[in-house]
Chain A
Amino acid sequence: DQQVKQNSPSLSVQEGRISILNCDYTNSMFDYFLWYKKYPAEGPTFLISISSIKDKNEDGRFTVFLNKSAKHLSLHIVPSQPGDSAVYFCAAIGTGSARQLTFGSGTQLTVLP
């Protein structure tokens, strides 16, 4: 039972264009959402987050949109750069005592020069 889903295993985008990564969730008890970036042989690094009371959060080139009614969030990267090539994980936090992260399966983003 996957509570957080990333249905696109891979995405290729031209440098300078917009990258849009999508994520769907099923658990309505999730109240905080995060995006992590992972390079090979490194641990995931935090990118951007959004609380369930908001519908948009922006940080430089990165913007996360949340549509609670659709249980859908997306990460927009504008403009995309070759250094953005990595695996991107969507994660959610629910109301468990540990406030643990529930991850999607990831999307490999490749930004072509």
Chain B
Amino acid sequence: ETGVTQSPTHLIKTRGQQVTLRCSSQSGHNTVSWYQQALGQGPQFIFQYYREEENGRGNFPPRFSGLQFPNYSSELNVNALELDDSALYLCASSSDSLYGYTFGSGTRLTVV
């Protein structure tokens, strides 16, 4: 059983650029959630995708968008990057059974 894999592991972007982060969910999981963890803080919910549809969104602006593909993998896109977007971005997958969230190791994004 493979876990959740995220790519890339590290990324440096310039303010104003766009970025795409990728996540492969754990086998058998059909739900993907994305979280942003700023330095010294806990992860904050960005949004969730269930069977390719957005199923909930946290307090993040529209320049944060996502996709889920038929194989349940997912992308997080951030447009017009700001310095405050520098953070660890975590992907978590789960199945229809509640609370079984499995996290990936994250993508460390630095905006300069």
Which residues of A are in contact with B by a Cβ distance under 8 Å? 4, 6, 32, 34, 36, 41-46, 49, 89, 91, 93, 96-106
Contacts and interface: CB of A to CB of B under 8 A. Distances in A.
Interface in B82-98: 90, 92, 98
Interface string B40-84: 111111011010000111100000000000000000000000000
Contact of B56 (A6, A98, A103): A98
Contact of A44 (B47, B57, B90): B90
Given A101-B43, A105-B41, A32 B99 contact: yes
Interface of B: 4, 33, 35, 40-45, 47-48, 50, 55-58, 90, 92, 98-99, 101-106
B20 to A, nearest CB: 19
Contacts of A42: 105
Contacts of B99: 32, 34, 49, 93, 99
A91 B99 CA distance: 11
A98 B55 contact: yes
